Amino acid sequence: MNRQLALMALIGLVMFCPRTWAELVVEVTKGQDDAIPIAIVPFSSPEEAAASFDVAQLVSDDLARSARFKSMARKDMIDQPHTGAKIGFDDWRRLSNDYILVGQLQPQGADRYNIVFELYNVLNRQRLLGYQISANKAGLRLASHQVADMVFEKIIGVRGAFATRIAYISVLGHLPSKTYQLMVADADGANPRVVMQSNEPLMSPAWSPDGQNLAYVSFEGRLPTVYVQLLKTGERHRVSARAGVNQAPAWSPDGRKLALTLSTREGNLDIYTLDLATQAATRITDDPGIDTEPQWSKDGQSLYFTSDRAGGPQIYRVGVQPGDKPRRLTFQGSYNARPRLSPDDSQLAFVTQEDGAYRIATMDLRGRGDVLVLTRGHFDVSPSYAPNGAEIIYASRDRGRGVLALVSADGRVQERLVSSEGEVQEPAWSPF
C-alpha cells in the first residue's frame, strides 16, 4: 500500500500544492513570427451604448492573445470607418494590414443591443463576413467573444474558442487553515466565480459533454468522494463514495457514464465505469499495478489511462468491452502520465519527464506515434485541450508560484494565465 500511495503522489503531484485565486491575466510569452496584421476599428455607437461595453477592444484582445494575430494600435489608425462602404482600402494596405474589422453597437430598446460587424480582406477588398449578434448588456462580453470566434475561424480556418470557459482549483490561506475553491471563468480568465468551496481538498474537475455540469472529487468528511454539480443552479449529487479511493472522474461522450479510479477491498487501484442512472459500476482493468487517470475516446469504446504495471507510469489504451486487453502506448522515457485526447482523437497530450522536469508532450495517434515535447518548464502538469484542439491549457510554476499556462498544439504559441493573488491548479477546458 505504501508503494501505491507513493505512486499516487507522484502521478498527482499538482493536486496538493497550495493556491489562492483572483481574476487571471493573460501574458503571451511566445508568439508566431508570422502573426497576421489586422485592424479592429472601434465600433460606432451612441453615447449610452458606448458606455456599455467596448466590443472592438475585447475582440482585439482575444485575437492578440491567440498570438496568431497582431492587432493594430488605435493611436496608429488614420481613420475609424464603421461600415465597409467607408473603408479606404489603399490607406489601410499602406499601413500593412491584411484584414480590417468594422462595426457598430446599436441600442435596440431597454437593455438590448445589436452588434453589427463586417470583416474585409484589405488586399483584395473582399467582404469575408457580415453578421449581427443580439445581446443584453450582461451578454455583451460573451457576444464579443463570439465575434472574435467568427473572425478567427474565417481567417485561420479553425473554430475559435474564445467564448468557452475553463474550470480550475484554487486554495486560499495557509496551513493549518485553508479554503479550497472550484472555480469557473471565461477562457480569457475573466469573470471567475466560485462553484464549490470547502475546507477540505477539491480536485479533478471534469466538464460534462454539454457543458452544464462539472464532476469533481471532494474530501469532505476526510474521504475522497465524487460529486456531479449542475452549474446553473448549484445543485449537486454524490455519485461515488465507495470505501477506499474514488478519484479522477471522466465523462463518457454521451454524458451517461463516468470513468473512475476506484480501489478494491485489497486496496489496489483500477479503472471502472459508473452508470450515472443506475449506479452500476463495471470494472475495466484488473492488474496488481496502479491504474488511474482514465480518459474516454471520442467514440466511447475505449479508455486511455495511466498504469505502473510495467514498473513506472506509462499510458495504455483498453476497450470497454469485457475481455479486452490493455495496450501500452508510450515507450519514450520512464514517466508518462495524465493522458488527454484532442477533440478529434488525432493527438494525445500527457505529462512526460525530461531532464528531471515534468513537461507537456503530445503523441500522434494517426501516424507513427511521434512524440513532441511542447513545454520547457520544470513542473508542467494537468493538460486539457481546448474544444477546437488548437491549444492545451495546463498547470505550471512560475517563480515559485502556481499559474495556468497555454501552449498551441504545435508548440509555436505559449501564454500564461497569472493570478495576482496567489496560485491556481488543475485546469479543465469546457466544450463548445
Interval 142-161 mean pLDDT:
97
Q: Is the pLDDT of residue 366 over 90?
A: yes
Question: Which range marks the domain in which residue 377 is found?
Answer: 166-429
Number of domains observed in the structure of the chain? 2
Residue 118 DSSP SS3: strand
Q: Which residues, other chains included, contact 267 with Cβ-Cβ below 8 Å and sequence gap of 6+? A: 1, 4, 244
Give a yes or no: residue 369 inside a domain.
yes
CB 296 within 8 A of CB 259: yes
**Are residues 97 and 226 located together in one domain of the fold?**
no
Give a yes or no: residue 17 inside a domain.
no
Last residue within a domain, chosen from 129, 156, 183: 156
CB 381 within 8 A of CB 370: no
**Are residues 101 and 182 located together in one domain of the fold?**
no
In this structure, what CATH number is given to the domain that contains residue 401?
A: 2.120.10.30
Give a yes or no: residue 15 inside a domain.
no
**Are residues 189 and 253 located together in one domain of the fold?**
yes
Q: What is the pLDDT of residue 50?
A: 66
Write out pLDDT tens, residues 404-414.
999 999 999 99
Last residue within a domain, chosen from 112, 136, 156: 156
In this structure, what CATH number is given to the domain that contains residue 72?
A: 3.40.50.10070
CA-wise closest residue to 209 among 302, 300, 339, 338: 300
Q: Which residues, other chains included, contact 295 with Cβ-Cβ below 8 Å and sequence gap of 6+? A: 250, 259, 303, 304, 305, 339, 340, 341
Last residue within a domain, chosen from 156, 176, 205: 156
Cell triple for 298: 471520442
For residue 420, what pLDDT band results from cuts at 50, 70 and 90?
low
Q: What is the pLDDT of residue 15?
A: 36
Write out pLDDT tens, residues 213-247.
999 999 998 899 999 999 999 999 999 999 999 99
**Are residues 142 and 266 located together in one domain of the fold?**
no
For residue 13, what pLDDT band results from cuts at 50, 70 and 90?
very low
Give a yes or no: residue 44 inside a domain.
yes
Give a yes or no: residue 214 inside a domain.
yes
